[in-house]
Amino acid sequence: MTQLKDVIQQSGVAFGTSGARGLVSALTDEVCAAYTQAFACTMQANFRFDKVAIAVDLRPSSLRIAQACASMLRQLGIEAVFCGAIPTPALALYAQTRQIPGIMVTGSHIPFDRNGLKFYRPDGEISKSDEAAMLDCELTEKAVDETVLSPINPDAYQEYMQRYIAVAGVNGLAGLKLALYQHSSVGRDLMQALLTSLGAEVICLERSESFVPIDTEAVSAEDVQRGLAWARQYEVDAIISTDGDGDRPLISDECGQWLRGDIVGLLTARALKIDHLAVPVSCNTAIENSGFFKQVIRTRIGSPFVIAGMEQLAAGGASGVAGFEANGGFLLGSPSPQFPALAALPTRDAVLPVVILLTQVKQLGQALSQQVAMLPQRFTASDRLQNFATSKSQALLAEWSVNIDVLVDALKLPFEVSQVDTTDGLRLTLTSNQIVHLRPSGNAPEFRCYVEDVSVAAAMTLLETTLTQLSKFA
């Protein structure tokens, strides 16, 4: 009998750091149906439900994939509740509130010729153990039919909006002038409606009907210049955007300087009065150096590992628990001490940090640049080499991890290595306190590089030098 792992081997559509990803050409109706069947059967082993929520991003292939998923659910006797094109965290909130599973069709920030599936248990994201159970699930033969998606259920959209209107209050952002970089984000209309309902003046920019793969962790040179130009032209308090599926924020200060995602997370966690944090190893060391938190634990990169870290903190008796990633996605593991009515939502969310940071600008009378300037001055930068075979990057790290001197020479690092961290990839602390972190992407054939230094200019120089050397091995 066929198992999901057999389908993965044949199709190349595999689990990454967050969900399953693959080429659109490989995400056939049959492959999507196989993943859906394995997911439903795995969930039925632990939960009772008769509905599964489905939502999509704005990629051209997403509706067709959602239909394949809905077809399989129907054949399993499960109703597919179609929530339309909404941000991933809006789907997660809807499913969690009703204690039903959810499937989000999205490839997040990766190129439009790829797509993927994110899976939600009735109580949150699936874990790595859930993925393992899905791999071993025995699949029954079921033909995919042309099931039509049900009319859009608007509740997921409306409840997600109301969650943040309740946080900031009607007109809570009155007096702020914001630019909204819409591109092809699935949350672009929701974000405009939300910020406007909170009283802000919103200028919408660069809406695109073709898919634009915005990576909040590797902002393009073009978008860097756009941010600076827009800030000068429109004189705004901030520029707001998200990635394709609306779970990672992209926020600039009033000068048009894009804030790093881990700095966004740090400021958000402080404003929420969070005491205990779980963050990936790639995040800025200003988190610990700030002294804002009672406990910070470092995890592997990917929301499942951050969630496991939050669960570890909660199991140890911690309250006021949250996590965030270097891409800016914020995960609320428990009600906030500052906003007790804000229910936990342990999945990456872009709207929470946007609303909280803008509320801080209004209430404190402090521009975002001022808030950032008060933090320990450690600066991170990151980018990736695309079309770098995963097998090649993994082989390089395996070789270099046992011979650091060869790595130092190969990458022309400016100082010797004082500390090596292999939590996820290869993270090197140099004797100068500079940090260089290399890691193959879990979602695409990309080799990522993260660096940390004492200034923006120094971090960018270190990043560019490292990537130039690294590209020679592609």
User: Mean of the pLDDT values across residues 230-250?
Assistant: 96
Closest by CA position to 118, among listed 392, 303, 267: 303
In this prediction, residue 418 has a pLDDT band, given cuts at 50, 70 and 90, of: very high
- pLDDT at position 16, please? 82
What DSSP line would sit under 304-365, residue for residue?
HHHHHHHHHHHHTT--SEEEE-TT--EEE-S--SS-TTS--EEEEESHHHHHHHHHHHHHH-
Q: pLDDT tens digit string along 317-367?
A: 998 999 999 989 999 999 998 988 899 999 999 999 999 999 999 999 999
- pLDDT at position 443, please? 66
Q: How far apart are CA 62 and CA 361, in angstroms?
A: 37
Query: Quick check: 273 pLDDT over 90?
Result: yes
- pLDDT at position 295, please? 97
Enumerate the active-site residues: 108
What DSSP line would sit under 202-216, residue for residue?
EEEEEE-SS-----T
Q: How far apart are CA 263 and CA 324, in angstroms?
A: 10
User: What H or E segment, with its residue span, contains residue 115?
Assistant: strand 114-121
Residue 238 in contact with residue 252, Cβ under 8 Å?
Answer: yes
Closest by CA position to 167, among listed 268, 16, 72: 268
Q: pLDDT tens digit string along 188-235?
A: 999 999 999 999 999 999 999 888 888 888 888 899 999 999 999 999
Distances (CA, A) of 190 to 17, 164, 193, 241, 331: 26, 11, 5, 11, 20
Average pLDDT value for the chain:
93
User: Mean of the pLDDT values across residues 94-110?
Assistant: 94
- pLDDT at position 341, please? 85
pTM, 2 dp: 0.90
What DSSP line would sit under 56-92, residue for residue?
E-S-TTHHHHHHHHHHHHHHTT-EEEEEEE--HHHHH
